[in-house]
Amino acid sequence: MVLASSALAAWINLPQIGRLFNNSADRIAALPPAPVFTRGQRILILSPHPDDETLCCGGMIAGAIVAGAQVSVVWATAGDGFEFAASLAERTLDPGDPQMRALGQTRAQEALKAAAALGIPASHTVMLGYPDGGLSALFTTNYTETYTARTTGASAVYVRGAQTPGAPFTGQALEADLGRVLDRVKPDLVLAPAPQDFHPDHRTLSYIALRLMSARGQAGRLRFWGVHGGLEWPVPKGLHPELPLTLPPLADRLPWQRVDLSAPELRRKQQATDAYATQTRIMGRFMRAFVRRNELLSAEPLPEGGALPSGSQGP
């Protein structure tokens, strides 16, 4: 399993092959600007793993807070499924359940540091702690039947500081936990992964967000972003704050809007990215490639006339 994790890390750190994509700076400049965040606006970021909130939205989070908006973030998982990261952090070639759970605890602490770097107070952060790599199972086969995580051996929430310690790994429990967050925060905007994102945890959280917000009659409050947007995206790898973030190939037909970032917002985003030491030591060139002069949001989950992927309706 460590070998598979190593291969993943190598793949997302490959050198620039931007010629694969016809995704010019002119196309980004032509995108409409997203509406600005305003004082008193309540914004909730749905992050599948610790670091996604920073990669997708760190600059706009920092800007929204300066503008007086109230920003909260909820992490669906503690990111305890990356065996290569656990190997390095715990100094073992074959990390077992205890080492993987230790990684989850560490990444939860990194998440708080990253949130603080962006200006989010700890009181506006929520760790749910469901299984990294297991959200699609919770959404489908394990909606009511408890799921046991392959990497940690856990079947219930174990992460310190989680909203519901001991909650079973079921889709029902996850949706109930997330529903409690929505009801408490009462967000005006919810920033969620786009359903085209390559990572199954991201896609699944998108489906759950669509279902929960639709049930509340608030689907129009959703805004979508991408992190795992297609082979080699974003290019070039590494830190290039002077360059634009181009459209993710897997979702380039969405009606994207551009969020331009100031120099202070970029600095905060870079600081938050660097807070994820367990990840940057392996995937630093990938992660820092998101520190660009803009971020992207779509007010729609699908291009016009599109359909959600098969299985998105859930149980």
Q: What is the CATH number of the domain that holds 164?
A: 3.40.50.10320
Domain that holds residue 96: 2-8+37-298
At residue 1, the pLDDT reads 47
In-domain check, residue 29: no
Question: Does residue 82 register a pLDDT over 90?
Answer: no
Q: pTM of the predicted model, to two decimals? A: 0.89
Question: Does residue 79 register a pLDDT over 70?
Answer: yes
Cβ distance 174 to 130 under 8 Å? yes
At residue 11, the pLDDT reads 42
Question: Does residue 311 register a pLDDT over 60?
Answer: no
Cβ distance 287 to 174 under 8 Å? no
Question: Does residue 258 register a pLDDT over 80?
Answer: yes
Distance CA 243, CA 55 (A): 15
Q: What is the mean pLDDT of the chain?
A: 90
Cis peptide leading into residue 33 (ω within 30°):
no
In-domain check, residue 116: yes
Give 270-308 pLDDT, tens digit per residue: 999 999 999 999 999 999 999 999 999 999 999 976 665
Give 153-177 pLDDT, tens digit per residue: 999 999 999 999 999 999 999 999 9
At residue 21, the pLDDT reads 39
By CB neighbour count within 10 A (0-12 exposed, 13-18 middle, 19+ buried), where does 180 fall? middle
Q: Count the domains in the chain.
A: 1
At residue 24, the pLDDT reads 74
Return the DSSP state at 195.
T
Give 26-57 pLDDT, tens digit per residue: 899 999 999 999 999 999 999 999 999 999 99
At residue 306, the pLDDT reads 67
